[in-house]
Amino acid sequence: MTSTTDPSAGPGTEPDGYGELRAQLDTLTTEAFRPELAEIDRLPTREIARIMNGEDSTVPAAVAEKLPEIAAAIDATAERMARGGRLIYAGAGTAGRLGVLDASECPPTFNTDPSEVVGLIAGGPSAMVKAVEGAEDSKELAAADLDGLGLTADDTVVGISASGRTPYAIGAVEHARRRGALTLGLSCNADSALAAAAEHGLEIVVGPELLTGSTRLKAGTAQKLVLNMLSTITMIRLGKTYGNLMVDVRASNEKLRARSRRIVSLATGASDQEIEAALAATDGEVKNAILTILGGVDGPTAATLLADAHGHLRAALAAVRTT
């Protein structure tokens, strides 16, 4: 059989494993060819945009069908993180980039340490902007990347793959499960190997893409929506919000400092002078500032109460009101 690295392979020959891979792709909904769109390139731009927008509008419904499974996965994730575990995403290509993106948004939004929510992409950081050939095909690489993080049984590993067959994502889930970590498998095809490997299989079937096999489209949108839910609702469960206010926001620039003041105002109704004093007394920590105002305590006491309440502002307020 012709080797995958044999430059002399000519017409009529196939690289090793190519026939098997082609057969696999032929069975995937995300790879299906849509003959009704075969001449889309001849349509007016506005019509293409209308068709694409219509395609995108079907994605939330596909996510909605899996809300019970998503909610169960979130509760299990929050339970692990509450006892010190991390949320770790692992994927290749678009799926990997979406995981890295979601992880990178958690520190400024929820004041998490960068080590608490981590995105692994096959091929390493350089794969964010340039494909790393062969990286997605290695289960061993995924295992090594997880071992490099010092994976523990309290961690949650989310394998992300539109096809549900990417070896890197499957390898991450299999390795994590052997180590006792919680595992989620997010894919966009039914009966996927990734979902089968994970404790929580999340299969968001969005159908064939506008451009055949371009899973950065509907599949990517579906994955982004689920990752939004996973990280955001987990953080809500961990007490990172007060109602729908981001009380753990990290004020790292002027816009976020203004947002911090606004959040304290919305939560307390206090005057600007009171808000500035509270933020000054708590080193700019929004949650602590709210507690000093609503609970009538000083900065150090607010910090102690929140520590005792494991960061849950409502519980800290309840403790003040019962004393």
The per-residue pLDDT for range 45-68, each reduced to its tens digit, is: 999 999 999 999 999 999 999 999
Q: What is the dihedral of CA 176, 179, 182, 186, to 10 degrees?
A: 20
CATH code for residues 254-321: 1.10.8.1080
Q: Is 209 assigned a catalytic role? A: no
Report the pLDDT averaged over residues 278-288: 94
Q: What's the token pair of residue 56?
A: 């995108």
Is the pLDDT at 290 greater than 60? The verdict is yes
CA angle at 63 for the pair 52 and 237, rounded to the nearest 5°: 135
Mean predicted confidence (pLDDT) in 257-283: 95
278: Cβ contacts below 8 Å, ≥ 6 apart? 264, 270, 289, 290, 292, 293
Strands 200-203 and 117-121 turn out to be unpaired
Say what the pLDDT of residue 30 is.
Answer: 85
Residue 216: pLDDT band (50, 70, 90) is very high
**Among 3.90.1150.150, 1.10.10.10, 3.40.50.10490, 3.65.10.10, what is the CATH number of 59-237?**
3.40.50.10490
CB 121 within 8 A of CB 101: no
Query: What pLDDT is recorded for position 24?
Result: 63
Q: What is the pLDDT of residue 27?
A: 76
Averaged pLDDT for residues 239-257: 89
Dihedral angle, C-alpha 16, 17, 18, 24, nearest 10 °: 180
More confident residue, 196 or 15: 196
Q: In this predicted structure, what is the pLDDT of residue 8?
A: 42
Where residue 321 falls among pLDDT bands split at 50, 70, 90?
confident
Place of tokens 């606004």: 262
Residues of the chain with CATH 1.10.8.1080: 254-321
Q: What is the pLDDT of residues 104-118, one digit of tens each?
A: 999 989 999 999 999
Strand partners, 88: 118, 157
Tallying the residues shown for the chain, one arrives at: 323
Catalytic residue among 105, 199, 274, 276, which? 105
Active-site residue, 105 included: yes
Looking at the chain, the domain(s) classified CATH 3.40.50.10490 span: 59-237
What value does the mean pLDDT of the chain take?
A: 91
Q: Using one digit for the tens of pLDDT, what is the confidence trace for 230-247?
A: 999 999 999 999 999 999
pLDDT value for 10: 46
21 compared with 173, residue with greater pLDDT: 173
Q: How far is CA 226 from the centre of its chain?
A: 7
Distances (CA, A) of 261 to 269, 290, 321: 11, 10, 24
Q: Cα separation of 101 and 106, whole Å? A: 9
Q: Annotated catalytic residue: which of 31, 55, 116, 136?
A: 136
pLDDT band per the 50, 70, 90 thresholds, residue 23:
low
